[in-house]
Amino acid sequence: MTEDRVLSAADTREPEAFTVTRYRCPYCRRSWLSKKRAISHIAKCWWNRGCKTCRHADLMGGDYVDGCGLGEDLADPDAPFGEPPRILPRGMCPLWEPS
Ligand SMILES: [Zn+2]
């Protein structure tokens, strides 16, 4: 009775729309289902007062410009041999200035 099954009311119902709430980082736009995880991310987001938007770091150039006043060595301690040291960016920097 495959034909009856195809014509049953259950198979002719319309798809249902539903809404999912996600929580998005206002700095980098990544999102999570868990609000707690989003809050945790925002506290360390590289775009939240971090090196990626700071005038003291040139991440694409792999170096600091204009002197980072933080006094932390943010260079990758395990950079590949023969390559210039990369910056490991941080967020929520107290000395952040817009670039
Ligand atoms: Zn973010």
pLDDT digits (tens, 9 = 90+) for 43-79: 889 889 988 888 877 666 655 555 677 766 677 777 7
- Residue 95: closest CA among 54, 48, 42: 54
Which residue is listed with tokens 């990544």? 30
Rounded Cα distance between 15 and 62, Å, is: 50
Mean pLDDT (whole number) for 19-39? 96
**Same domain as 40, residue 51:** no
Q: What is the extent of the structural domain holding 96?
A: 46-99
Å from CA of 76 to ligand 1 middle: 21
Are residue 50 and residue 87 in the same domain, yes or no?
Answer: yes
Please give the distance, rounded to the nearest whole angstrom, from the Cα atom of residue 3 to the centre of ligand 1.
52
Determine the distance separating the centroid of ligand 1 and the alpha carbon of 1, expressed in angstroms: 55
**pLDDT attached to residue 29:** 93
Task: Render pLDDT for 2-15 as a digit per residue (tens, 0 to 9).
Answer: 555 555 656 788 99
